[in-house]
Amino acid sequence: MSLPANKRILSGMRSTNPKLHLGNYEGALRNWVDLQDQGYEMFCMVADWHALTTMFDKPQEVAYNSREVAKDYIAAGIDPEKSAVFVQSDVKEHAELHLLFSMMTPLGWLERCPTYKDKKQDLGSAEREPYGLLGYPVLQTADILLYRPYGVPVGKDQAPHLEIGNDIAGRFNSLYDCEVFTPYKYMIPEDESRATLPGLDMRKMSKSYDNGINLSDSDDETAQKIKSAFTTPTKIRKDDPGIPEGCAVCQYLKLYSPDWETQWDEDRQGLRGCMQNKKELIEVINEKFRPMRERRAQLDEGEIDRILADGAERARAVAEETMRQVKSAMGLR
């Protein structure tokens, strides 16, 4: 495949937890590494301001998590020589563009957003709902458009935000009669089980639900988690038939086990029990993620500081140029 002229790619993860999980990896990070290795120019952001929408009372934890998330990027194969690894709040242009977009984004677009409706429901009362939650997709749009990227590799849950982003880009261009922004591509895994990886409880695997297997979990932690994972509720004895589509353990086997088709067939026919599935899954997952875990354990703290400072500088160079174009289009000083 020949590369497009603009090879910039932007994506990020919220630093709501010090550890990324397999869903973050399958939905997004794995594609970042592939794109980097194909020669795309990657901007890998740690979204600390986004984390504050739900952790505004724990800013120090967010700051700690941000460094840890950067370590997971690198352990997973992001090469800081090739790709910019940076923290959102180190590049102030994200806040500036967010403010300008917030002036021109219709409220209806944000109130209709399904992820906003879900989070709002979780919070219960409007009194407890922070202003920043509604504006989340506007900040995300600023994050993306600052880099005028070719594409944005994310999991499927981000699709509604990506749409709002391209709509804001179109609105900006038409309001100020310019072509500062071009639509970016949504790079969501085609394989449904990677696009939305289920958690150990079969809800979406999420940092904030604590229902995931983390990239940097130890062999023992992984084993403990898999032992308590959700399986077919009606499969009580070994010879009861299973329903692999609804079983977290079978979903992970499909991703990581070369023998998953046989394992699924035997599960369906009641020829194997959940314990055997779990035992085999523990082995393949620990095997697969061992090199990443070892790389992460060897990362040097001082090195991370240098990587983040250098990444922010590279990000700022593109972000500053975008802000020049934005202000010029708007006729601002």
Nearest CB to ligand ATP, comparing residues 27 and 273: 27
d(Cα 144, Cα 163) in Å, to the nearest integer? 12
Least Å from the CB of residue 99 to ligand ATP:
23
Q: Which residues bind ligand ATP (CB under 6 A)?
A: 13-14, 16, 23-24, 26-28, 154-155, 157-158, 196-197, 204-208
Handedness of CA 29, 77, 315, 16 (dihedral sign): positive
Least Å from the CB of residue 97 to ligand ATP:
20
Residue nearest to ligand ATP (CB): 27
* Residue 288 is among the residues annotated as catalytic for this protein: no
Nearest CB to ligand ATP, comparing residues 102 and 196: 196
d(Cα 81, Cα 128) in Å, to the nearest integer? 43
Which listed residue (7, 58, 204, 254) is catalytic?
204
Nearest CB to ligand ATP, comparing residues 193 and 286: 193
Going by C-alpha positions, the residue among 225, 195, 230, 232 that lies closest to residue 286 is: 225
Nearest CB to ligand ATP, comparing residues 132 and 270: 132
Handedness of CA 294, 300, 305, 309 (dihedral sign): negative
Which listed residue (7, 119, 120, 225) is catalytic?
119
Nearest CB to ligand ATP, comparing residues 74 and 154: 154
Length of the chain in residues, anyone? 333
* Residue 119 is among the residues annotated as catalytic for this protein: yes
Q: Read off φ and ψ for residue 303, nearest 5 degrees.
A: -65, -40
Nearest CB to ligand ATP, comparing residues 30 and 268: 30
Least Å from the CB of residue 257 to ligand ATP:
18
* Residue 204 is among the residues annotated as catalytic for this protein: yes
Say which residues have a Cβ less than 8 Å from residue 225's Cβ, sequence separation at least 6.
Answer: 200, 213, 217
Least Å from the CB of residue 28 to ligand ATP:
4
Least Å from the CB of residue 14 to ligand ATP:
4
Nearest CB to ligand ATP, comparing residues 149 and 155: 155
Q: Which residues are catalytic?
A: 119, 204, 207
